[in-house]
Copies of this chain bind each other. A is one copy, B any other.
Amino acid sequence: MSRPVRHEIPPRSGAAFTLDRGQRLTVIDPQGEQVADLVAFRRDDLDEVISSGRTIDYASRIFLTTGDPIYSNRSNVLLRIVEDTVGRHDFLLTPCSADTFRIIYGDEHPHRGCFGNLAAALAPYGILPDRIPVAFNVFMHVTVDGQSGEIAVRPPLSRAGDRVSFVAETDLVIGLTACSALQSNNFSFKPIHYEIES
């Protein structure tokens, strides 16, 4: 088997691509402490999309790792996590957006964020912005206080070279970013790498 091509997503940008059933997608943090927002749509029916609510309900856990399936809004498994060298990711929060930067950071001229980057990357596949769900936020480190319910966005636990691999359970369209929010990446924007293996 030849070595897979390694693709780079530059800082504060996004990409979209297809992933066939059985293919393995590996998301790599080349420098450490960088988040990648991942969304997935069933390619032959784009109304089916990953669902945080279904996945968390069936897992009975808000933190997912190796072995965990990622379910769709129709309760089908779209992706399965098959390798994870970090073990901490987020599946509660929506991709950062111009509104995020306006509301949380107070920016007057906000960046379009992961949401805008995903919307632009997914548009050629016919996916509308309103269809972008809560993303599986690879490497994102969100703490939750079980008593008060308070959450905090902390620096990722990922170090240079850490990776998470997913296998597609059906033909998919994937959206993936190098996250644009300062808090998420310990205040330094970095690239994300990914590889696809058949």
Least Cβ distance of A127 to chain B in Å? 13
How many copies of the shown chain assemble into the complex?
A: 2
Binding site for B on A (CB under 8 A): 47-48, 51-54, 56-58, 60-63, 73-75, 92-94, 97, 99-100, 103-104, 128, 130, 132-134, 143-146, 148-152
In the complex, A74→B152 CA distance in Å?
A: 22
Q: Closest 3 CB pairs between A and B?
A: A63-B149, A53-B94, A75-B99
Q: How far is the CB of A142 from chain B (nearest CB, A)?
A: 9
- 18 A-B pairs with CB atoms under 8 Å apart are A47-B130, A48-B130, A51-B134, A52-B52, A52-B53, A53-B134, A57-B93, A57-B94, A57-B100, A58-B103, A58-B104, A60-B152, A62-B151, A73-B94, A73-B130, A75-B100, A92-B92, A134-B134
Which one, B58, B73, B146, contacts A146 given CB within 8 A?
B146
